[in-house]
């Protein structure tokens, strides 16, 4: 028990601090209810930041880390990063498995080791996808001077690195870590992509601030969206206890769709291939391939098919 707090001269203040310290030290029923299943096992936010940084260095080795020449020097430094990534990732996956369910530490670590190896095997595909995203951004923005500018300064690259890493972990069934990783990107960029969303190759977000992409979204290839776009749910289904049920509830955007700034697309609807959704549109119904959806006079939405 605390009996004295140093450097407090006012007796009433000291009594208040002691009383509140004792009160806040009590484990409340609400606090117990919100504890994870595997009490005391938490992935480290700092370690996850380092893991994403390692992935960046491996996929873009001449941009975020020291420049590497070709050949053995490049292979050596990338090899060190790959080994370090595996070692850090399997430990954090082990913590996540214990966090999600009260597994034995040895069992969780062994499973984490295997899952981390499976993630490492996905790195070549992650690299291909991320370079296709960089290409999409460069092809859609006349302000781009070169690819290096996109890789080093565009917030969507940061968001997509985090998302693609997190989604790969979701595919491996790893709990909690994917959401922590994408929320780190959300804080850095203002782009909120749920790790469960499915996004095809050659994906571009212009500017990006305020973009929201929900968990069950399916986005095809060669899709471009602009700042302030929401791909969200229109309503939820609840179970008999009043808890929301995790059913598909977000939009499907087929290939070659463009969604302009501040458009809101809600519900399990399909935006057909090659469609264009104009700025500030509120869309809650499916549209056929090749449609053009724009705000008309008096804010009515006009839907037309391309000729």
The pLDDT profile of the chain, 307 residues, written as one tens digit per residue, is: 555 555 656 788 889 989 999 999 998 988 888 776 655 578 999 999 999 999 999 999 888 766 666 777 888 889 999 999 999 999 999 999 988 777 788 899 999 999 999 999 999 999 999 999 999 999 999 999 999 999 999 999 999 999 999 999 999 999 999 999 999 999 999 999 999 999 999 999 999 999 999 999 999 999 999 999 999 999 878 877 777 878 899 999 999 999 999 999 999 999 999 999 999 999 999 999 999 999 874 445 566 665 4
Asked if residues 251 and 264 have their Cβ atoms less than 8 Å apart, the reply is: no
The closest alpha carbon to 119, from 89, 143, 141, 149, belongs to: 89
d(CA 231, CA 215): 9
What pLDDT is stored for residue 110 in this prediction? 94
Beta bridge partners of 253: 219, 271
- What is the layout of strands, in order, in the sheet containing 258-259? 204-206, 224-226, 258-259, 276-277, 291-295, 301-305
Buried b vs exposed e over 29-54: b needs ≥16 C-beta within 10 Å?
A: eeeeeeebebeebebeeeebebbbeb
d(CA 215, CA 302) in angstroms, rounded, equals 28
pLDDT given for residue 5 in this prediction: 54
Q: Which of 225, 115, 223 is nearest to 168 (CA)?
A: 115
Please choose, from the candidates 202, 234, 201, the residue with its C-alpha nearest in 3D space to the C-alpha of residue 216.
234
Q: Which of 166, 177, 184 is nearest to 97 (CA)?
A: 177
Q: Give the pTM.
A: 0.87
Residue 20, both tokens: 């509140």
Rounded distance between C-alpha atoms, residue 161 and residue 185, angstroms: 9
187: tokens are 């804080």
Which residue is associated with the tokens 């006009």? 302
Using CB atoms within 10 Å of the CB of residue 116, give its burial: 0 to 12 exposed, 13 to 18 middle, 19+ buried: buried
> How far apart (Å, rounded) are the C-alpha atoms in residues 76 and 82?
10
Q: Which H or E run contains 30?
A: helix 29-33
Q: pLDDT at position 31, please? A: 83
Return the C-alpha torsion angle 214, 215, 216, 220, nearest 10. Answer: 70
Tokens coding 182: 């994408």
């Amino acid at each position: 028990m605390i009996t004295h707090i140093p450097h407090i001269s006012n007796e009433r203040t000291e009594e208040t601090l002691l009383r509140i310290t004792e009160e806040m030290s009590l484990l409340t029923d609400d606090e117990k209810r919100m504890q994870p299943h595997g009490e005391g096992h938490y992935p480290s936010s700092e370690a996850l930041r380092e893991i994403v940084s390692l992935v960046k260095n491996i996929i873009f080795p001449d941009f975020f880390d020291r420049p590497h020449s070709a050949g053995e020097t490049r292979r050596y430094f990338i090899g060190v990063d790959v080994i370090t990534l595996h070692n850090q990732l399997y430990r954090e996956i082990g913590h996540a498995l214990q966090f999600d369910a009260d597994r034995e530490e040895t069992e969780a670590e062994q499973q984490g080791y295997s899952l981390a190896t499976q993630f490492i095997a996905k790195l070549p595909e992650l690299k291909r996808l991320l370079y296709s995203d960089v290409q999409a951004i460069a092809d859609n923005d006349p302000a781009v001077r070169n690819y290096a500018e996109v890789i080093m300064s565009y917030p969507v690259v940061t968001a997509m690195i985090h998302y693609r890493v997190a989604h790969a972990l979701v595919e491996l069934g790893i709990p909690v870590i994917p959401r922590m990783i994408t929320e780190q990107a959300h804080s850095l960029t203002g782009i909120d992509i749920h790790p469960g969303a499915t996004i095809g190759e050659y994906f571009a977000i212009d500017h990006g601030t305020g973009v929201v992409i929900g968990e069950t979204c399916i986005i095809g290839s060669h899709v471009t969206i602009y700042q302030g776009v929401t791909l969200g749910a229109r309503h939820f289904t609840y179970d008999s206890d009043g808890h929301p049920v995790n059913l598909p509830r977000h939009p499907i955007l087929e290939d070659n769709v463009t969604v302009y700034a501040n458009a809101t697309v809600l519900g399990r609807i399909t935006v057909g291939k090659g469609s264009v959704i104009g700025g500030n549109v509120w869309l809650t119904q499916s549209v056929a391939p090749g449609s053009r959806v724009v705000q008309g006079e008096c804010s009515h939405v006009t839907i037309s098919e391309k000729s």
